[in-house]
Structure 1
């Protein structure tokens, strides 16, 4: 039964990526200033959801199984690894930085979700909700990046995102089957992902949110975090 739950939760969370791409594909809002503000608000929503995943699930659950030195090591390592990925993407001038960042969040979080269920954790549903919530704006943003920097057709990009959603169930099952007796390893993965996500928020997401003389986008971040709080309280 747990295997079915993992498959369903991770697949639904992953399908937020192509859903975000579909929204970006059909997005037509007028007047133009509102369309521009909407895009920034969607990005901010993802940032708020990512922060809530770090603050409400990944760090609190992770540090339960680690001492201070181990927690700080894995947290900082996550930030460093994501920074190196960023440096490499910039070095090779890739056109898919948002796509790589999206997968870099999604895969370790799915592993943590599967392992959490194996260890009897109660936050699997909340983590799945937060993963889905953050994948939606990340899919939106990654679609727009690929659409403007590659020759892929819109529906080919959406199909690619749908295929990538299958990585969630695979990662979740890997966490469930191989890490069920290794709570400290699961905790390390959670804290590692938290460090990487925090780096991504301040390196990639927050700088894209600000608009001169517009105040809606920051409220998108507040809304994203608020949805995380609601999920935390409803599933606790």
Structure 2
């Protein structure tokens, strides 16, 4: 199997976690008694833990290692401001597409970084694939349930949109692999930019949605999500 084919399939696998999460959410809406409110919050919090692990274990360490402190800080700050402004814009727009845009906002830079990592032979590519799967599944689950309740689109159209999102992964990954492999500074800056956006997303959307008034199961989901990311990171880097 050529490396280009490997990058394509792995990025498609990472993106496919979003429609899989959406399918599970669809099943949950059809059979609401199967999952309790705490279990749903656990799934959302699990995604938050996976997002934080992507930031802490891969995106920030790898991005910061290739930039000066000033450049790294500027890229990180720019990401935070951009995602804040994007969040405000989407809130004012009140469009059902906002949830899909929010998912793509962290998926696209991660997929580009994945492709660039494979091109230069870095082990972070496989770690990113694992973390993207862990975070895309609960993101797809949460986004579908919110869209199904707030939009007038039929379930078939919503699911089709999620499947189309999965195709974005290979496109971005191949862009990183073929065009940006030598632009290490740009990719590093993009990773830090995305890191700030992920942290904003976690504390603005994921953490409030996952909080339960009684019981700590959802918070435990965040710990579990980060733990699986840590285990994957340690297993891959040990080889």
Give the structure 2 partner of residue 211 of structure 1: 212
Unaligned runs of 5+ in 2: none
SS of equivalent to 2:212: coil
Q: CA deviation at 1:91?
A: 1.4
Inter-partner Cα distance in structure 1 for 2:203 and 2:97? 18
Task: Give 4+ residue runs of structure 1 displaced > 3 Å after superposition.
Answer: 28-31
Give the structure 2 partner of residue 194 of structure 1: 195
Q: CA deviation at 1:153?
A: 1.7
Superposed, 1:27-176 pairs within 5 Å as 27=28, 28=31, 30=33, 35-176=36-177
Change (3 A) 1:133 1:85: same
SS of equivalent to 1:198: helix
Please tell me whether residue 183 in structure 1 is matched to residue 171 in structure 2.
no
Q: Is the 8 A contact 1:13 1:128 kept in 2?
A: yes
Inter-partner Cα distance in structure 2 for 1:148 and 1:10? 29
Inter-partner Cα distance in structure 2 for 1:194 and 1:78? 7
Unaligned runs of 5+ in 1: none
Give the structure 1 partner of residue 14 of structure 2: 13
Inter-partner Cα distance in structure 1 for 2:98 and 2:55? 21
C-alpha distance after superposition, 1:44-73 (max 9, x if no partner)? 000000000000000111111101001111
CA RMSD in angstroms, aligned pairs only: 1.2
Give the structure 1 partner of residue 27 of structure 2: 26
**Aligned residues, how many?**
234
User: What TM-score, normalized to structure 1?
Assistant: 0.96
